[in-house]
Amino acid sequence: MFRTAWLLLIFLCPGLVSGQILGRRIIPQEPPPTPATWAERNQQSPLCQACEVESLALPLCIALASVRPRRVPAGECALPQYGTSRQHLLLWRVIPWQVQHAEFLELYETLKDRSSDGVELEREKTRLFIWCEKKKLPVCAEFVLRDFLYTRGVHHENSVYQKNLQRWKELAKTEPIPYTFRLPVQGQWHALLDESGHHQKKHGAVFAFDIVRQVGGHLHAGANAKENHFAWRQPVLAVCDGVITAAVDKHNDHTIGRPGPLSYSNHIRLDCGGGVFAEYHHLQKDSLRVKVGDKVEAGQVLGNIGNSGASGVPHLHFSFMDRDGFSLPGRYRLRVLAAQGWTNLNGEDIAEGWHFRSVD
C-alpha cells in the first residue's frame, strides 16, 4: 500500500555480498513441520485442548469484553464455559503458570477502574507493560501491548501508539507463524523497500510486504499505464489449502499515481487454519474466482493483481494476520537471488529488497 512517489526510488537491484542475501547471512534451517491440511492445523492448536499443567489463559482482543485473562487449573479447558470447539475463536495464548502471574492478573483487572479516562488508561497499560518486562514476563508484556494497540485502532499517528507499536513488534517478530507455506505468486518478484515506513505505522501491517514484477529493472513496458505494468493482472495464488472468509472485487482500479482510499482495496482473506489468515490486497476489479465460504487448495488461482485502494501502481500487498487483525511474521518456501545465484530457503520470512521466486 504505497504512493507513486515512493516507487521512483527503488527499482535497481541492491548490492549483493557473497554468502549473504541483501545483508542477511544465509542460515539454512529446518522450519517447524506444517500439518498437511486446514483441518489438521486447526486440530493441532493447543487452545482446543485441556491444559496439561496449571496455566495462564490470555484472550484475543476481540473477546476482552466478555473473556478475561484467567488462571486455569491443570486438566481444565482454558475456557470451559465455551467448550473446546470455540476456544480457538476467543483465545490468543495459553502458557504455563508462574508465581508472578497472580500479581499480573490483579494489576490487569485494576485497569477496568480507569476505563472512563482514556489517557490515564493508556498510561496504566504502558506502566503494566514495563512491569511485565521487569518481571521477565514477555508473553504478558505482549498481551498488554496488543490490548493497547487494538484499543487505539486507527489512530496510528499518535506518538504513544508508535512507541508501543515498536515495543510490540520486537516481541512479536521473535515468533513467526508456526507453519511454512508457498508464495502467493508464481515466478520472479521483487519486495519493495518501505521508504515511507507506512507498514511500520500500523499493527496490521508491520510484517506485510508489497511486491511488484520487474523486467530488466523496469516495472512496465511502453507508456506508464496500469495495463502496461508487468504485475497487472498477474494471478495471486492460495498459499495453502483453506477457507475464504472475505472476498471483495467491486472497486475500480485507479490510474497510475492516483491512489484511492484504503478502504476501497479489492481483497481476499484466506483462513489458513490454526488462527492464521492470509490477506491479499489491491486486486483487480471483477477478477476474483472465489467467494466467501469457498474451500481452496494450495496454489489455486484466487484472482488477479490490480490497482485498487491506496495503490499508486499495480502491486500485491500481502500479509499473514491473526484473528485480531495483527500482522504476523511469515514463513515461506522460496528462492532468493544472492551473489552465488538463486538460493533455496525454507521457513524464512520475506525481507524488503529481496528478489525472489517461487519453488512450486
pLDDT for the residue numbered 36? 75
pLDDT tens string 324-354: 999 999 999 999 998 778 989 988 899 999 9
First to last CA, the chain: 26
Q: Which of 359, 352, 360 shows the shortest CA–CA distance to 22? A: 352
pLDDT for residue 2:
39
> Strands (DSSP E) along 101-187, which ranges?
none
Average pLDDT, the chain: 86
Helix (H, G, I), strand (E, B) or coil at 342: strand
Class of domain 159-358: mainly beta
Residues 172 and 160: beta-carbon distance below 8 Å: no
Could you tell me what percent of the chain has a pLDDT over 90?
A: 58
Tell me the per-residue pLDDT of 188-212, one tens digit each, with 9 for 90 and over. Answer: 999 998 877 788 889 999 999 999 9
Per residue in 278-298, pLDDT tens?
999 999 999 999 999 999 999
pLDDT at 19: 36
* Domain definitions of the chain by residue range: 96-147, 159-358
Helix (H) or strand (E) holding 169: helix 159-172
Q: What is the pTM of this model?
A: 0.88
* Per-residue model confidence (pLDDT) at position 216: 84
Among 296, 356, 332, smallest CA distance to 182 is for 332
Average pLDDT over residues 70-85: 86
